[in-house]
Amino acid sequence: MGRIVAQVKLTNFTDPDKSISFSALVDTGAAYITLPESWRERLGEIEELAEIEVEMADQSVKKGIVCGPVRAKIGGFRIIMAEVLFVNMQPDENGQYEPILGYIALEQASAAVDMLGHRLVHVKRVDLK
């Protein structure tokens, strides 16, 4: 299975001068846009909505902080209002973090995963069934 990476820009809803752009791993097994806690202040003051426990891919449990709303632009898809989950992440050996783009934001932006083409595609219709 290939990796799908998307360009994301998050902007503080109440202070548009505060924004961050990054590449995120598309992970349909994750719910939130997930960022390292160390990036939180780059978005300025955003409301802390909840402290939650998250189960990682290795079954370990961490605490995370859900904040929002933020304005999110995922690639060429429409702008959405989203929540961001900040967790304590460890950088890789190059000092880089791997942000995650989860299914909630993908659904909101009408983006679907094309497994054969290893890319995101526009959903023609929103499913209300």
- Quick: pLDDT tens for 85-121: 999 999 999 999 999 999 999 999 999 999 999 999 9
- Quick: pLDDT tens for 23-48: 999 999 999 999 999 999 999 999 99
Domain ranges of the chain: 5-122
CA–CA separation, 68 and 70 (whole Å): 5
b/e map of 16-29 (b: 16 or more CB within 10 Å)?
Answer: eebbbebebebbee
Q: What is the CATH number of domain 5-122?
A: 2.40.70.10
- pTM exceeding the 0.85 threshold for the entire prediction: yes
